[in-house]
Chains A and B, each alone.
Chain A
Amino acid sequence: MSLVNYATREITCKIVYYGPGRSGKTTNLHYIYGQVPSDRKGQMVSLATQTDRTLFFDFLPLDLGTISGFTTRFQLYTVPGQVYYQATRKLVLQGADGVVFVADSQSRQLAENIESFQDLHANLADHGVDARGVPLVIQYNKQDLPGDLILPVAELEDQLNFRGVPSYSADALHGPGVFETLRGISELVLRRLSPTTAGGR
């Protein structure tokens, strides 16, 4: 899927929220959904189990209106975090213009975070995509939890952000950091609109 369709004058950004299970990807989307005026958002599609675990994926279409003559749309997806939904994750990741890695800040979740982050890179590689070329931001979610339960951002940075991508601390349930993350990834993606910086897209 091409980011810009010059013939129909459309910009479509596919942004995938990736991360381990229960890290808060769907919560991010729900918060955004709640903020968007009704004339701007499409129906949020959520395929969840009875216990609210994402079964397949969540999909939130956002209409940014016409900018410089281009009808601009964002499509926000989440992948199911559980390990056994590997095939679905891979499918959802296909054609992503940008990835938000939602890490769970709880100290006991560190291993899952690392595993999921490696899984992301493996899946991108499977799609024949060089992970270094894909816009990526990291969100350290659940930073609102008591300090003894979570790792400080600096340590998470050490463990996860070896590529030095933009990172944001967030409390997806209540909102702080959610739009900052979205803004961060959107800018990275949109900066690639012009061909020379897009690496030949």
Chain B
Amino acid sequence: MPLDPRHRFDSLVIGAGNRLAAAAARAVAEAPATTYNPLYIYGGPGLGKTHLLGAVAELASLLQPDLEIEYLTLDELRARWMMAISTGETALLAQRFDRVDMLLLDDVQFLAGQREAQAELLRLATSLMERGNQLVMTSDRPPSEIAGLDERLVSRLGGGLVVDVAPPDFETRVAILRVVAAERGLSFEPGVLEEVGRVAYPSVRELLGALTRVQAVIAIGERAQAIDVPRILGTHSTPSAPMHRTEARASGTEFESFLSEMQTVVQQQMERWQVRLQESIAYWAGEGYRTAVLERALELPREPDVSGLMATFAAAVEHLRGLATQAAAVDPALGGHAVFRDPERMAEAEDLVEQALQGTTPPGGPSPSFQREGFEVGSSNQLAVHAADAVISEPGRKYNPLLVYGPSGVGKTHLVHAIGNAIAAQSGGATVVACVHAQQLIDELIAAIQGGTVERWRTRYRSAGVLVVDDVQFVAGKERTQEEFFLVFNAMIEAGQQILLTSDRPPAEIPELEARLRSRFEGGLSTPIQSPDRELRERLFARYLLAAGRPTDPSLLRALGEHPIHSVREIAGLVHRLGAAADAAGEPLNATLARAELGLTALDERAPVRRSSQGIGDVAVFLDREKVIWDWPDASARLIEELR
């Protein structure tokens, strides 16, 4: 059904009774399906509900010309269904509605008691909402008061915004009369329209009917100034004593003329651009934003681009809100920072967020030189490597945390970094692996406590997918670090994020470690790495010699393998030393040279120690006083005895 082209927002007189409905309708027309969906407008007949629907359609199609808008009364909708059912074209009708972007449905109160129509409307409304299309309805009563309305439909119709239109007040009635009089090209003596408006008609239609009657009386020749409006409208017999009535009318005129003049003055003043700006300032100030920039615009001698200014301000506020949300995600305390309330401090706000984000970027990743492939496996580290492989295949699930302990230089750091590298690689870089030395952890926490950014410190560590903490024994005795680490630890374990730790001793032997942390360290897997055995030493020497471009003949490796070492780092050092010795001697490195360089000094010194350590049992026997012959007989005496 075509809409009356006169039904536009600019021809709508807005008063207290319909302000909310008009504002909602305008919002819907400006941005369909984003604000109030569905919009349900109700109110008595003749109060401009259909006018509002028409205005929505007019404005929406003006703003988005390709918008498909359909206006129907409920009766028409029902008739279409009937027709579709009788011709078997219900699917076609459904398709037709599927193309509609905005459906305006008038007089839905006729749904009362109509089960079929309700079911159809429910289906239609659901389908519209699901496709993100706008539904606007009018009715003479709220959804909950439509008799026999399906509960689902009540909640569906009331799900957006339900807003009422009340009868116009005196000023609105007069304003409506003036607008209509102007439309009809009528002019009245001062006070006539006010007199008509004084009658509190329940609907605008009746009000306009009264105007028409007055118009008709004038048309038959009664002099305009002599019009007795109450007589024409038959409102003479309204209660209140006639004498008072006359007095009130006579005296009311003086006040009314004062009122009408004041209205003109206020209207003139309130249409100025400063007023729009002031309203905007009041709004944003109410929202808690600094509006100094808008206030400065008020001082401008000429009208600036107020709409542009307001839009820019709104955009700036939007941006600030985004920044505040970002900051609050990092550190809730930051969300309320004053810079997020002042569009003029946008740069500061951005800096703050950037800093906050930097402060929460997880620590650096594992060293790329520590790869799992480069890790030599021997009997001394077999268990740890096996555990490492298990963690790589199921990060965060198999052994969490994995704690590797052992003396310095046996490859603990290499192994945990290698796990980190492998997990990062297999996730395609998606998993953030953070590696940190325990001392760094402590230092950063102290700085965070100083700067009041502990929350950010936590976020920084919790945001990692895999956290590697080296030399975790350093947290011993650091109470606050242990407490904070405990929180981070729990959060990560719960979230299934892998934690890898190294220590120079098993957790049970770390002094001043809180029991709750110790038990958690041990809750995963603690595995030792021991000093490399001979076979592993030979292989490690072979690798380092090869890397240094030195010969790796078996006799040399055997000779070197004899050399007892405790850490892999030592091997690297020895290779450098031997290389230098060979260069000095001017011959390639061989077993003899190596023995000469290490063996004579190092082997001789170390060998007895080693032997003694191997023969501890023997020494113990000798130390048993009962089993030692302390006084041997004199040799000459023995000989003499034997010779006898």
Is the Cβ of B267 less than 8 Å from the Cβ of A68? Answer: yes
B270 within 8 A of A: yes
> Chain A nearest CB: distance from B243 CB in Å?
14
C-alpha spacing A109/B636, complex, angstroms = 159
Chain B neighbourhood of A193, CB < 8 A:
266, 269-270, 275
> Chain A nearest CB: distance from B15 CB in Å?
6
Tell which of A34, A35, A70, A196 touches B266, judged by Cβ atoms closer than 8 Å: A70
Is the Cβ of A6 less than 8 Å from the Cβ of B278? Answer: yes
With A191-B265, A193-B275 as known contacts, state yes or no: A65 contacts B251, CB within 8 Å. no
Q: How many B residues are at the interface, by size bracket? A: 35 or more
Which residue of the partner chain B has the closest CB to A188? Answer: B265
Tell which of B251, B265, B279, B298 touches A34, judged by Cβ atoms closer than 8 Å: B251
> Chain A nearest CB: distance from B13 CB in Å?
11
A39 within 8 A of B: yes
Produce 1/0 per residue, B11-33, CB < 8 A to A.
Answer: 00011100100000000000000
Is the Cβ of B19 less than 8 Å from the Cβ of A69? Answer: yes
Is the Cβ of A196 less than 8 Å from the Cβ of B274? Answer: yes
Is the Cβ of B266 less than 8 Å from the Cβ of A190? Answer: yes
Is the Cβ of B283 less than 8 Å from the Cβ of A7? Answer: yes
Which residue of the partner chain A has the closest CB to B170? Answer: A65
C-alpha spacing A69/B269, complex, angstroms = 12
Which residue of the partner chain A has the closest CB to B283? Answer: A7
Interface centre among B265, B277, B286, B299 (most CB of A within 10 A): B265
Which residue of the partner chain B has the closest CB to A36? Answer: B255
Chain B neighbourhood of A7, CB < 8 A:
282-283, 285-286
A154 within 8 A of B: no
Interface majority SS on B: helix, strand, loop or mixed? Answer: helix
C-alpha spacing A179/B261, complex, angstroms = 11
C-alpha spacing A4/B252, complex, angstroms = 27
Chain A neighbourhood of B64, CB < 8 A:
none
C-alpha spacing A168/B275, complex, angstroms = 31
Which residue of the partner chain B has the closest CB to A13? Answer: B262
Is the Cβ of B270 less than 8 Å from the Cβ of A6? Answer: no
Produce 1/0 per residue, B344-378, CB < 8 A to A.
Answer: 00000000000000000000000000000000000
Is the Cβ of A67 less than 8 Å from the Cβ of B266? Answer: yes
Interface centre among A11, A34, A67 (most CB of B within 10 A): A67
C-alpha spacing A177/B252, complex, angstroms = 16
Chain A neighbourhood of B475, CB < 8 A:
none
C-alpha spacing A107/B248, complex, angstroms = 36
A146 within 8 A of B: no
With A190-B266, A195-B298 as known contacts, state yes or no: A40 contacts B258, CB within 8 Å. no
Chain A neighbourhood of B251, CB < 8 A:
34-35
C-alpha spacing A66/B172, complex, angstroms = 8
C-alpha spacing A64/B262, complex, angstroms = 8
B533 within 8 A of A: no
Produce 1/0 per residue, B276-311, CB < 8 A to A.
Answer: 011101110110000000000011000000000000
Measuring CB to CB, which residues of chain B are less than 8 angstroms from any residue of chain A? 14-16, 19, 169-172, 248, 251-252, 254-255, 257-259, 261-263, 265-267, 269-272, 274-275, 277-279, 281-283, 285-286, 298-299
5 pairs, A vs B, C-beta closer than 8 Å? A6-B283, A67-B262, A183-B258, A193-B270, A195-B278
